[in-house]
Amino acid sequence: MNLRTLDLNLLVVLRQLLEDRHVSRAGEQLGMSQPAVSRALQRLRVMFDDPLLVRTSRGFDLSARAEALLPDLIHWIEDTERLVSRQSFDPATSTHVVRFYGPEPEVGWFLPPLFERMRRLAQGMVLEVKSEPRDHFDQLERGEVHFVLSPFEPSAASTAQIHSLYLAPMAFALVMNADNPLALGAISAERIAAANHGLVSLTGRGGGTVENGLLAQGYLAQGERLNQPLRLTSFTSIAAFCECSDMVFLLPKQFAEELAHGRNLVVRETPPEATTGGPQVSLYWHERFHNDPMCVWIRDQLKAVHGSTVERHGKKSSL
């Protein structure tokens, strides 16, 4: 039989007929008239080349073919209903693994409150976080992670498939050895431009937020670069380098304060001109997970712990 010529609605009528063994009652359950159900039964008898319902002294009974069909028919219809129905998600019983990518400062800022909420509301779920240096958005494109926390923006080519949720602006501070000249006195853009800088480069591109800010404000000439004798791909060794050298790192303020605690380090506020146009943290996810119930729930939990936000497709949103 060619399935393209098969009226699948007839199978729904057949199930009801076989369960009720009565044309009028089946019509009532289906919201169809008795003549319409009778016509459907005639078509079904032709389709299966079998009477399906056989008249007896007690009313209709099932033919041998109908007896064999009914269990498979019930199973097929239930599977079809599950196939087209909206996927459900119950955090209390879920054992899903939700996968994030994000740099260490952003992970430490945004994800612990989310995890605390998950431990209360979804104890069977697992939070998996990747922070290794790499292109932030390739993993979304390939479906390797559900979400990316990032101060960067996707390329124009991939923006149409990526949704975003603006979370917060990034406040910056400078971290340095307590004996560094910048640790004392007023900090100006000129003094920052003259200092020796360390840079954590997650993408391997560009000179970083300080260099970009100073260039934008004219404290560095076009083509001029900050002195950056140290480039790292991880945040874990920053404190050790600062304690034994004159390196200065610009870091998210909260992360900088945690890093300096109990060490011979100083955290200094930055003048606005040094971080003009600095990044803002957003949550990103791909179109493939936009309507996934688990991912919708995770976004709702992030909103609950980090304030009311508005989602947008293709560009950042605002608080």
Assigned domain for 318 exists: no
Burial of 155 (0-12, 13-18, 19+ CB in 10 A): exposed
Q: Are residues 135 and 157 in the same domain?
A: yes
Euclidean distance between CA atoms 178 and 161, whole angstroms = 46
Task: Dig out the tokens for 169 from the structure.
Answer: 């602006």
- Among residues 40, 62, 84, the one where a domain terminates is 84
59 backbone dihedrals φ, ψ, rounded to 5°: 115, -150
Identify whether 250 is part of a domain.
yes
Residue 208's CATH number: 3.40.190.10
> Tens place of pLDDT for every residue, the chain, 319 residues?
666 777 888 999 999 999 999 999 999 988 999 999 999 999 999 999 999 999 888 888 999 999 999 999 998 888 887 777 667 789 999 999 999 999 888 888 899 999 999 999 999 999 999 988 777 788 888 889 999 998 888 877 677 889 999 888 777 889 999 999 999 999 888 888 889 999 887 665 555 667 766 766 666 667 677 888 998 888 889 999 999 999 999 888 888 999 999 999 999 988 776 665 556 789 999 999 998 999 999 999 999 888 755 455 554 433 2
Q: Which residues contact 105 (CB under 8 A, 6 or more apart)?
A: 235, 251, 252, 254, 255
pTM: predicted TM-score of the whole model, two decimal places:
0.65
Same domain, 132 and 64: no
**CA separation for the pair 14, 10 (Å, rounded):** 6
- Count of domains for the chain: 3
Quote the pLDDT of residue 278.
56
Domain enclosing residue 292, as ranges? 97-169+279-313
Q: Mind spelling out the 3-state secondary structure of 93-132?
A: CCCCEEEEECCHHHHHHHHHHHHHHHHHHCCCCEEEEECC
Domain identity same for 161 and 306: yes
How many residues does this entry show for the chain? 319
Say if residue 214 is in the same domain as residue 304.
no
Q: Are strands 126-130 and 97-101 parallel, antiparallel or unpaired?
A: parallel
pLDDT at 57: 84
Q: Are 95 and 163 in contact (CB under 8 A)?
A: no
How high is the pLDDT of residue 221?
Answer: 65
For residues 134 and 92, give the distance between their C-alpha atoms in angstroms, rounded to a whole number: 34
The answer to the question of residue 74 being in a domain is: yes
pLDDT at 219: 64
Give the rounded distance of the alpha carbon of 279 from its chain centre. Answer: 20
Domain for residue 89, yes or no? no
Distance CA 96, CA 126 (A): 6
Q: Check which CATH number belongs to the domain holding 38 and give it.
A: 1.10.10.10
Structural domain includes residue 223? yes
> pLDDT value at position 316?
44
CA distance 227 to 224: 9
The pLDDT value recorded for residue 319 is: 28
